[in-house]
Chains A and B, each alone.
Chain A
Amino acid sequence: MLTHLPILQVIVPLLAAPLCIFLRRPPLVWLFTLIVSSLAFVISILLLQQVMASGTIVYELGGWDAPWGIEYRIDALNAFLLLIITAISTVVLLAAQTSISKEIPKEKHMLFYTLYLLSLTGMLGIVATGDAFNVFVFLEISSLSAYALIALGKDRRALWASFQYLIMGTIGATFILIGIGLMYQMTGTLNMEDLSTRLPEVAQTRTVFVSFAFVIVGICLKLALFPLHLWLPNAYTYAPSIVTAFFAATATKVAIYLLIRFSFSVFGLSFSFTTLPLQILFMVLGLSGIFVASIAAIYQTNIKTLFAYSSIAQIGYMIVGFSVSTVTGLTATLLHVFNHALMKGALFLALGAVMYRIGSVQLSQFQGLGRQMPLTMAAIVIGGLSLIGVPLTVGFVSKWYLLMALIEQGWWPVAVLIVLGSLLAVVYVWRLVEIAYFKPQLVGKESVKEAPLSFLIPIWILVMANIYFGIDTRLSVQVAQAAAQSLFGVSP
């Protein structure tokens, strides 16, 4: 059983997805989905333990040898990502039934859970597989279900947002496919491990350059890296709250994983960073992403949009860490992947709770909520502090590593820009805090009560995680470091 864990990780939610349709009754489906997701979570913990104890796990699908058969490869990086995705998915699901009861018509509930599981499968598959074409397949599974999930939003604009994402996402996926195709043309293999040994032989050909460009641009579209981020704010704003919480915490992380995997493992460090000017390119894009998106966030009146822009800015931080291309830089990126999932999970779930009680997440509607929903608002404040990077929250840990990475390289101006960027976070978080705590409640909203427990429990699990992993950083730092070191070929 234990040897089959890598495939179980993906296949369990995949098989469970259609079963949702047979269960029909929403509470039952919810419970079933929750159990499946928890199961996936347990599997990911076991996988991580195995990887940390005994190194990379290689699993050959159907017993076919690589490079002919499909191979699943779990190293520290994959296991780390799997853990993040399944953990967030499980915690978010705790609140799902309550949240969607107000946002999605009842007859569509089972469809929601089916799509949710499919989307989860897709993300887990992308991370688990060691086969380039398989990546594309799972990417499509997760993307298609994501389009449908976003379109389930109550607001009619959700349809438009979903369509926008569909167009952009499809272009991205197509680019990735073209890139993979070109790689296959040059090397005759789709296995990542195999690709990484064969690509250097043909590295100086124009085809490989083009293939690299297609893959990277495609991934950056999925990643919502500035200036390819246009689909993200609308998609996050109009999707059902649960979907936003789930995607904000996981979807872009999967894209970051792909970026790291392709540029470090498949094409190789020297090709990505020495032959090609990826470093300066990503540095500039990351920094401008931080500033443009943070400033845009300051001017939003819809809080979901505000935090969506903040997500784009946070992706900027990850990309800056990535562009340093040192072990510390990559550790910072991976830590931020983990930490940002915790922050945004907590924040968007809390917004879900506000949506549940108030029916809107416009800034003006937050008046007086500091008194009426103290626990939910406290969660938003702590999540916001974590975004700013205050010590004892996770945000501080990743910022510390990022600053270290930049100063190690002597990139002082960038370090200064990074801390200036986090000041912008203070501005957009505090706008919300002031409205919530200093304005009297709106007329007609006097009866608004604290969110139900089914919301508070998952929200506070994530908030506590924000603090816990800000204090006890052993797990996150250890795994992130191990992953970064193995990508650089340094034995830990």
Chain B
Amino acid sequence: MNLSLEWMLQLSIILPMLATLAIVATGRNPNLREAVTISTCLMLFYCVINLYQGIIKGEEISVFWWELLPGLQVSFAIEPLGMLFALIASFLWLITTIYAIGYMRNHNEVNQTRFYACFAIAISAVMGIAFSANLFTLFIFYEVLTLSTYPLVTHAGTEDAKKGGRIYLGILLSTSIVFLLLAIVSTWFVTGTLDFKPGGVFDPNVDKAVASVILLLFIFGIGKAAIMPFHRWLPAAMVAPTPVSSLLHAVAVVKAGVFTVLKVCVFIFGLDLLSVLPTTQFLLYLAGASVLLASIVAIRQDNLKARLAYSTISQLGYVTIGALLATSSGVIGSSMHIAMHAFGKITLFFCAGAILVAAHKSKISEMRGLGWQMPITMAAFFIASLSIIGVPPAGGTWSKWFLLMGTIETEQWALMMVLMISSLLNIAYLLPIPIRAFFPNLLANNEPGKEQALPTFQIQEAPLPSLIAICVTTLGCLILFIYPQPLYELSTAILEYPGLAHGK
């Protein structure tokens, strides 16, 4: 194929949309339907890889679609941060689809066609967010993402699912309509443009009070970043089937949130302006509180998915902190953390789903000794936990390193403490799960009789497609530790964009 990069960009948004139609059309034949999904994933990934190579060569790729209102364009341009996000999302979509085939069929889920169709729309929206050239385009796809994932969250159709969906849609839609839209309109009014520009669009002499308020509106408006107090939707959305939770709520939706935060901080405000705004400090502490509180809540959860959900909230706080620190290390750490956390968390969710399918367990207290029944899954869980905690040999090490550097550079000692304590808390809520799974007697209460209560386990792993997916993402965690260069280069390239004053 000899397509221009501009076409590749458009295809990466249009392909999943078209796939939706094909999925609905082939809905009666599940194998054909999944073939459509998988081939779309592959084509999408091919496009994104091509784009990535183009970006490395330093080509400028941008596409203009149409002008919705005078001055408000729907247009796309690729910069390193968006590229990074698109790479992760498209790759993990492929893996998740493989995983989902195993999960959905073994779990006898209903309405699988709707599931795959909405999934494809959501990915299309994610690509749109990643490549959008201005806030307006981003906002459109942001809303599309919210609405297309609603049927996924409420997939089960039960009373619980309905309630979860209500919270999900309620928080995401209202924050975006009330705060984000106001923030965008005000930005448009103050600066006259919504384009993402290196160094920001605000005039350096802009009224600090106005800019501070707009920043507040942005951070609260991007509900997908799950900063407390607007985090409730994330645990609520855990009623969704596990593949949805893993891709959308560990990768696509939440990452779309923090990605938007990063974009706004770097390309709308600019790091120079951001660092002098009076509300930045307040928001930093809010994000810090979000990190700590969510970790503490996570410890108290017995439902595995709920624990992971709170862990996600806490990790998203890291990314927001990195963005708001407004230094190069902070931004590099944040963008790397988007990738690292994506791989780590998706593995954890995959494992949770595998445990549900193979062993029908969702409570952590029931998982003692499970390691002998599902050794691969639990080993993967262990490695992914290490990545989330941020210790070698897993990728999370690097991003946490840069984030800590960022706090030290800016002398935010309180935040540094928060990050350290949170890492300890991560250990406390993640590691006991694999440890108990492999050594059921080690951490058990020393009550006599409990040891005998454990049944003997036979190896009974998750379905093969799911297992493959788990292995791939686990390997990803490890590879990102050994070979983080491409990621690091992309992250630094964000800052080397012409016009950014902040050097290293």
Q: Which residues on A are within 8 Å of B, measured CB to CB?
A: 385, 388-392, 397, 399-401, 403-404, 407-408, 415-416, 419-420, 422-423, 426, 430, 434, 437-438, 471-473, 477
Q: In whole angstroms, what is the CA distance A419 to B176 when docked?
A: 10
Q: In whole angstroms, what is the CA distance A400 to B189 when docked?
A: 11
Q: In whole angstroms, what is the CA distance A391 to B170 when docked?
A: 17
Q: Which 5 A-B pairs have the closest CB atoms?
A: A391-B140, A403-B185, A419-B178, A407-B189, A438-B162
Would you give the shortest CB distance from A333 to chain B, in whole angstroms?
16
Cβ contacts A to B, 18 pairs, < 8 Å: A385-B147, A388-B177, A390-B143, A390-B147, A392-B144, A399-B181, A401-B69, A407-B189, A408-B189, A419-B177, A419-B181, A419-B182, A423-B174, A423-B177, A426-B173, A430-B169, A434-B162, A477-B69
- Chain A residues with Cβ below 8 Å from B174 are 423, 426
Residue from B161, B162, B185 within 8 A of A407 (CB atoms): B185
A335 to B, closest residue via Cβ: B69
- Chain B residues with Cβ below 8 Å from A472 are 66
- Chain B residues with Cβ below 8 Å from A426 are 169-170, 173-174, 177
Would you give the shortest CB distance from A261 to chain B, in whole angstroms?
26
- Is B449 on the interface with A (CB-CB < 8 A)? no
- Is B70 on the interface with A (CB-CB < 8 A)? yes
Determine if B66 and A477 form an interchain contact, defined as CB atoms under 8 angstroms apart: no
Determine if A404 and B189 form an interchain contact, defined as CB atoms under 8 angstroms apart: yes
- Chain B residues with Cβ below 8 Å from A419 are 177-178, 181-182
Instruction: Using A389-B177, A473-B69, A477-B70 as known contacts, say yes or no to A438 and B185 having CB atoms under 8 A apart.
Output: no
Determine if B147 and A400 form an interchain contact, defined as CB atoms under 8 angstroms apart: no
Known contacts A408-B189, A419-B182; 16 additional CB pairs below 8 A are A390-B147, A391-B139, A391-B144, A403-B181, A403-B185, A407-B185, A415-B185, A419-B178, A426-B170, A426-B173, A430-B166, A434-B162, A438-B154, A438-B161, A472-B66, A473-B68
Q: In whole angstroms, what is the CA distance A391 to B135 when docked?
A: 13
What is the interface size of chain B, counting residues whose CB is below 8 A from a CB of the partner?
27
Determine if A404 and B185 form an interchain contact, defined as CB atoms under 8 angstroms apart: yes
- Chain B residues with Cβ below 8 Å from A390 are 143, 147
Q: In whole angstroms, what is the CA distance A291 to B215 when docked?
A: 28
Interface centre among A399, A430, A472 (most CB of B within 10 A): A430
Would you give the shortest CB distance from A477 to chain B, in whole angstroms?
6
Determine if B177 and A407 form an interchain contact, defined as CB atoms under 8 angstroms apart: no
Determine if A471 and B68 form an interchain contact, defined as CB atoms under 8 angstroms apart: yes
- Is B157 on the interface with A (CB-CB < 8 A)? yes
Interface centre among B66, B140, B154, B185 (most CB of A within 10 A): B185
- Chain B residues with Cβ below 8 Å from A389 are 177
Q: In whole angstroms, what is the CA distance A390 to B143 when docked?
A: 7
- Is B186 on the interface with A (CB-CB < 8 A)? yes
Q: Mark B139-163, 1 if CB is under 8 A from A, else 0.
A: 1100110010000001001000110
Would you give the shortest CB distance from A462 to chain B, in whole angstroms?
20
Q: In whole angstroms, what is the CA distance A418 to B143 when docked?
A: 19
Instruction: Using A408-B189, A434-B166 as known contacts, say yes or no to A415 and B147 having CB atoms under 8 A apart.
Output: no
Would you give the shortest CB distance from A401 to chain B, in whole angstroms?
8
Determine if B189 and A391 form an interchain contact, defined as CB atoms under 8 angstroms apart: no
Determine if B182 and A416 form an interchain contact, defined as CB atoms under 8 angstroms apart: yes
Q: In whole angstroms, what is the CA distance A403 to B157 when docked?
A: 37
B142 to A, closest residue via Cβ: A391
- Chain B residues with Cβ below 8 Å from A416 are 178, 182
- Chain B residues with Cβ below 8 Å from A403 are 181-182, 185
- Chain A residues with Cβ below 8 Å from B161 are 438
- Chain B residues with Cβ below 8 Å from A408 are 189
Determine if A407 and B186 form an interchain contact, defined as CB atoms under 8 angstroms apart: yes
Determine if B166 and A391 form an interchain contact, defined as CB atoms under 8 angstroms apart: no
